[in-house]
């Protein structure tokens, strides 16, 4: 069991000290919880990969407290970097920029670029100030599993591998940062809490998605065999997956009631869950009020995609813990943050 630390000045000081000295500490951010280490400490960074079971070809994000600190680890001269930072930092944006030589190769998996993010969660900022060094931190989950949005989620799946978890409550965004490649070309490598529309508007031109993302959006992505780094190496087709099998549907109100009867013939009711995007109206199905059955869930009261983003990972974990074997989930509307929720859902559903 890892020890929980609080937001008390004493614990914040301790977290900073531990991080500086090379200990791993799970920390809250506004997106998801991260498993942090001093980015300049190769040994500590290696232990992040080992704790997560993450392949060494999948580079980490370096978290910084200020734009000036970003300039220590990355070349921030690209005018687009300044524009994006001005508008979205601190916040759930990660920029992939040319790397400075002080960043160990292990952090960037040997890439010439480094992913940099400035979190806006007040407690993360205090921990970073206390540590005084940039923090390499991936999401604090075993590789491939659902990202954690509470301190207890981290305890549940990594508690036996790490010593400390700072508890900052539930994450505000609930899904990871948006990753933008800021080089000669500007591309979105991962959809996230900041929308593609907002990035395009800030830069005054439409910003394209990386090819892998477009393929996933079209549900045509071929799995990466993990043999070589890709543009966004962590964007494997299958990721963010609960143990239960996930199946996506376009319209739950239409598709769930007949499915309910159909699935029931092959699986007992306690083995499958139905997840609507918003609280369902009364729906008949399989001889009762289907919408009030105990295996029916929803991601938001009113259909807000931001609420769905906040809830989605916690619900997947809850359904796993409850022992469901099959989860049917309705897709979000595919715009704004809904597109990022759909990206996570299609990866969770990938074979």
Instruction: List interacting residues with ligand TXA (CB under 6 A).
Output: 29, 31-32, 34, 58-61, 92, 94, 96, 108, 111, 113-115, 117, 137-139, 176-177, 179, 189, 232-235
Q: Quick one: which segment of 107-115, 139-147, 205-213, 241-249 binds Mg ion (CB under 5 A)?
A: 139-147
Among 31, 94, 139, 155, binds Mg ion (CB under 5 A): 139
Among the listed residues 70, 312, 335, 319, the one whose alpha carbon sits nearest the alpha carbon of residue 175: 312
With respect to Mg ion, which residue has the nearer C-beta, 176 or 307? 176
Among the listed residues 71, 112, 114, 108, the one whose alpha carbon sits nearest the alpha carbon of residue 94: 114
Q: DSSP H helical segments within 132-172, as ranges?
A: 151-158
With respect to ligand TXA, which residue has the nearer C-beta, 108 or 130? 108
Residues 6 or more apart whose CB falls under 8 angstroms from that of 10 comprise none
Cβ atoms of 138 and 54 within 8 Å: the answer is yes
Minimum Å gap between C-beta 61 and Mg ion is 9
Q: Quick one: which segment of 136-144, 162-170, 243-251, 285-293 binds Mg ion (CB under 5 A)?
A: 136-144
Q: DSSP H helical segments within 23-172, as ranges?
A: 42-52, 67-73, 79-88, 105-108, 122-131, 151-158
293 HSE (CA, 13 A, CB side): 23
CB under 5 to 8 A by kind: which of Mg ion, ligand TXA, none does 111 bind?
ligand TXA
CB under 5 to 8 A by kind: which of Mg ion, ligand TXA, none does 12 bind?
none
With respect to ligand TXA, which residue has the nearer C-beta, 5 or 96? 96
With respect to Mg ion, which residue has the nearer C-beta, 31 or 76? 31
CA 141 from centroid of its chain's CA atoms: 10
Counting other chains too, the contacts that 300-304 makes at CB distance below 8 Å and 24 or more residues apart are: 302/278, 303/277, 303/278, 304/278
CA distance 244 to 76: 42
Minimum Å gap between C-beta 135 and ligand TXA is 9
CB under 5 to 8 A by kind: which of Mg ion, ligand TXA, none does 155 bind?
none
With respect to ligand TXA, which residue has the nearer C-beta, 39 or 332? 39
Minimum Å gap between C-beta 84 and ligand TXA is 15
Q: Quick one: which segment of 47-55, 138-146, 283-291, 297-305 binds Mg ion (CB under 5 A)?
A: 138-146
Q: DSSP H helical segments within 242-304, as ranges?
A: 252-264
Q: End-to-end alpha-carbon separation of the chain, Å?
A: 32
CB under 5 to 8 A by kind: which of ligand TXA, Mg ion, none does 179 bind?
ligand TXA
* Phi–psi pair at 262, nearest 5 degrees: -65, -50
- Beta pairing partners, 35: 26
Among the listed residues 189, 226, 221, the one whose alpha carbon sits nearest the alpha carbon of residue 208: 189
Residues 6 or more apart whose CB falls under 8 angstroms from that of 246 comprise 316, 327, 329, 345, 348, 349
With respect to Mg ion, which residue has the nearer C-beta, 135 or 291? 135
DSSP class of residue 307 equals: H
Contact flag: residue 23 with Mg ion (CB under 5 A): no
Minimum Å gap between C-beta 239 and Mg ion is 7
With respect to Mg ion, which residue has the nearer C-beta, 60 or 72? 60
Q: Quick one: which segment of 133-141, 264-272, 276-284, 338-346 binds Mg ion (CB under 5 A)?
A: 133-141
318 HSE (CA, 13 A, CB side): 14
CB under 5 to 8 A by kind: which of ligand TXA, Mg ion, none does 117 bind?
ligand TXA
- Residue with the shortest CB distance to Mg ion: 139
Q: Which residues of the chain form contacts with Mg ion (CB under 5 A)?
A: 139
């Amino acid at each position: 069991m890892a020890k929980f630390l609080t937001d008390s000045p004493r614990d914040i000081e301790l977290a900073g000290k531990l991080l500086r000295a090379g200990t791993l500490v799970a920390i809250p951010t506004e997106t998801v919880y991260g498993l942090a280490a001093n980015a300049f400490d190769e040994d500590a960074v290696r232990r992040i990969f080992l704790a997560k079971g993450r392949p060494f070809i999948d580079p980490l994000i370096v978290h910084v407290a200020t734009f000036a600190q970003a300039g220590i680890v990355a070349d921030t001269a690209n005018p687009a970097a300044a524009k994006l930072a001005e508008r979205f930092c601190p916040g759930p944006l990660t920029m992939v920029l040319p790397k400075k030589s002080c960043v160990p190769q292990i952090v960037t998996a040997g890439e010439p670029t480094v992913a940099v993010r400035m979190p806006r969660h007040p407690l993360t900022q205090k921990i970073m100030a206390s540590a005084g060094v940039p923090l390499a931190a991936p999401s604090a989950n075993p590789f491939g599993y659902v990202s954690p949005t509470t301190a207890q989620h981290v305890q549940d799946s990594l508690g036996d591998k790490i010593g400390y978890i700072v508890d900052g409550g539930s994450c505000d965004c609930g899904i990871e940062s948006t990753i933008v490649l800021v080089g000669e070309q500007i591309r979105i490598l991962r959809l996230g809490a900041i929308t593609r529309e907002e990035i395009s508007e800030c830069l005054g031109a439409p910003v394209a998605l990386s090819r892998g993302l477009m393929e996933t959006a079209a549900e045509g992505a071929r799995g990466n065999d993990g043999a070589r780094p890709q543009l966004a190496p962590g964007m494997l087709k299958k990721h963010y997956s609960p143990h239960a099998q996930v199946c996506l549907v376009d319209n739950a109100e239409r598709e769930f009631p007949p499915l309910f009867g159909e699935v029931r013939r092959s699986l007992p009711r306690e083995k499958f869950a139905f997840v609507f995007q918003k609280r369902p109206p009364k729906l008949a199905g399989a001889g009762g009020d289907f919408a009030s059955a105990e295996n029916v869930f929803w991601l938001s009261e009113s259909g807000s995609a931001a609420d769905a983003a906040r809830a989605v990972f916690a619900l997947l974990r809850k359904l796993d813990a409850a022992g469901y074997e099959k989860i049917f989930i309705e897709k979000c509307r595919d715009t704004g943050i809904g597109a990022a929720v759909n990206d996570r859902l299609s990866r969770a559903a990938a074979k």
